[in-house]
Structure 1
Amino acid sequence: MVIITRKLLVLLLLIFSLMAIGQEQVNDSISPIMKEKIDKVIAQEKEAMKEEVEAVNVQLDNKEISLDDAIAKKKEIANKYALRIQRRVELVKAGKEVGSDKNGETKLTLNIGGGNGLFVLTKNGDTIRRKDKRTYSDIVLAFGFNNAIGEGQTLNDLDYKVGGSRFFELGFAWRTRVFKNSNWLRFKYGVSLQYNNLKLKDNKYYVKDGDLTTAETFPHELDKSKIRFTNLVAPIHFEFGPSKKIERDTYFRYSTRKKFKVGLGGYAGIRIGTRQKLKYKVDGDREKDKIKSDFNANDFVYGLSGYVSWGSVGIYTKYDLNPLFASPNIKQHNVSLGLRFDMD
């Protein structure tokens, strides 16, 4: 009986303390509407405090804690909820308390440090900053026309077929906002696999002779003469353009969907394969040769690239600064133009 009496006395003391604090907060000169909001806040906190006190009583009844420990815990609970009531009442008076959701969580807005100061006050009094996702990932897909331009050449005297020479690129990229409070500039980086195909004209094919790689006339009529260079590269771009800021209670995001954007940068990597494919007929029989060789192609590739997009679709171009074939061969530089898709 002694334990029960002391438990009840402590509980009553806590409740009376909270009532006194709440009444002190309400006694200020306030409007009836604000008084109703404050009464609601106090009632919520009293209910939450009561649950915690009951949990301590259960521990005491189960002899998990001593009576002195129970009294100490209840005093801590009373102090915590007294501070919570005081803080929430002040927020109500300042017009920053926006009520509770259906799960009992209380949300409030603290405008600290500009537009990024939204916090969420949970039921246990913790505060959580709105989540800001600065880095996004994209799958990059590009394809289009490919060719190679040598020294002194023009578009009219290229060694390769314009329509038949194509490129294909598949990669994965990350896009990170450069500035904390603005998304007009993004840093885009990743890894891509490039396939650069070239179709020779005039019944020519490539022949490797030591350090030299030359285009020779094939002894039979060629249906196809194609050489493919496969590169593994790391593209890096600075992306410019507007975006839309999406704000929610617990997070905010920047979206570039249906927005104009420009990317300028380059790439660097290694050549991981070269293969020549020939199709022709001999005495009416179809023949197909696949020749795997380095053909003296440069092992290290690097160049400039850029794109102009609307949303996820854009026009893409790239230009190899490294010559296609290593010295002492003639200098030709691979160039590509096509469509690019950045799919997030």
Structure 2
Amino acid sequence: MKTLHKNKRLHLFFIHILLLSGFSVYSQQDTTVLKEETTTKIDSLYREDQFFFSFTYNTLQNKPSRMAQNKFSTGFSVGVLRDMPINKERTIAFASGLGLTYNNYIQNLSIQGSSQKALYAILEEQYQTNKISQLFIDLPIEFRWRNSTYQSHKFWRVYGGVKGSYLLYDRTVFDGDSGKSIIKGNKDFNKLLYGVYVAAGYNTINLYAYYGLNPLFASAKIEDKNIQLKALNVGLIFYIL
């Protein structure tokens, strides 16, 4: 009887050990699966989708003779970009987005008359105000490199691309000795501008530069010569996740 009782206890002991071992293995497998699923989920959602805004100092290239910018001309942009990684580490990507840009150019190119028939001249007289203001809707497409990881959003980046801009609103103001002239919707402006840009830096604050590939004006002339002004805007761009 003692032997039978002892065998039963051993039998129950081994069953207990087997059950515990099975539970342990199952728990380890379950934990491993959860870890893999968590890692995969984090990696699959890792994108650098960003809101951005920029401040620029605006200059004009290809200026006619005697034309000059005599005050600080500024610009402001805001928008959003959708990130599309193309490598496993997600350090290389394309991005596209939508934005708005407002630019001012303060200079001595007089624009008077009307929106349908504007007259252009280089100012020799004294004046209080002479500026061009424009509002665009932007469609940027860019190629991206960064050394980011999903654990940290502080990283080095170089983003470069092309941007198409459609003119939504324009206003020119001249206020001088001969009077004040304000023109809106000048038909001589190019409705569609396009250019190249680059942004580079670390973390939130980055240097930014944009160069326009086509002129601001489509048909404006001074003394039968086309005005071929192009934009070169440099400043800072800020990215916010």
Residues 190, 234 of structure 1: 8 Å contact kept: yes
Residues 305, 317 of structure 1: 8 Å contact kept: yes
Q: Where does residue 102 of structure 2 map in the other structure?
A: 195
* Secondary structure in structure 2 of the residue aligned to 1:224: strand
* Alpha-carbon offset, residue 175 of structure 1: 1.9
Q: Does 1:23 align with 2:4?
A: no
Alignment deviations for residues 213-240 of structure 1 (CA, whole Å, 9 cap, x no partner)? 5235387x42121111211111111111
Q: Where does residue 184 of structure 2 map in the other structure?
A: 292
Residues 107, 119 of structure 1: 8 Å contact kept: no
Residues 52, 238 of structure 2: 8 Å contact kept: yes
* Alpha-carbon offset, residue 303 of structure 1: 0.7
Q: Where does residue 83 of structure 1 map in the other structure?
A: none
Alignment deviations for residues 116-158 of structure 1 (CA, whole Å, 9 cap, x no partner)? x8136xxxxxxx95342143432211112102111788xxx65
Alignment deviations for residues 242-275 of structure 1 (CA, whole Å, 9 cap, x no partner)? 11343xxxxxxxx432x11101111013111110
Q: Does 1:107 align with 2:4?
A: no
Q: Where does residue 137 of structure 1 map in the other structure?
A: 49
Where do 1:140-179 residues align within 5 Å? 140-150=52-62, 159-161=68-70, 163-179=71-87
Which AA in structure 1 matches 2:160?
L
* Alpha-carbon offset, residue 314 of structure 1: 0.6
- Give the distance between the partners of 2:139 and 2:203, measured in 1 at CA: 23
Alignment deviations for residues 308-338 of structure 1 (CA, whole Å, 9 cap, x no partner)? 1211111101011111111462211111001
- Give the distance between the partners of 1:152 and 1:288, measured in 2 at CA: 23
- Give the distance between the partners of 2:172 and 2:187, measured in 1 at CA: 9
Q: Where does residue 214 of structure 1 map in the other structure?
A: 120
* Secondary structure in structure 2 of the residue aligned to 1:108: helix
Name which one, 1 or 2, has greater alpha-carbon Rg.
Answer: 1
Q: Where does residue 233 of structure 2 map in the other structure?
A: 336
Residue 20 of structure 2: which of 39, 46, 58 is its match?
39
- Give TM-score scaled by structure 1 length: 0.56
- Give TM-score scaled by structure 2 length: 0.77
Q: Where does residue 174 of structure 2 map in the other structure?
A: 278
Residues 142, 160 of structure 2: 8 Å contact kept: yes
Q: Which has the higher contact order (CA 8 A, sep 6+)?
A: 2
Residue 196 of structure 2: which of 283, 286, 304 is its match?
304
Identity %: 20
Any stretches of 5+ residues in structure 2 without a counterpart?
Answer: 1-11, 221-225
Residues 273, 294 of structure 1: 8 Å contact kept: no
- Give the distance between the partners of 2:187 and 2:68, measured in 1 at CA: 16
Superposition RMSD in Å: 3.4
Call closer, same or farther: CA 1:215–1:25 in 2, change over 3 Å: farther
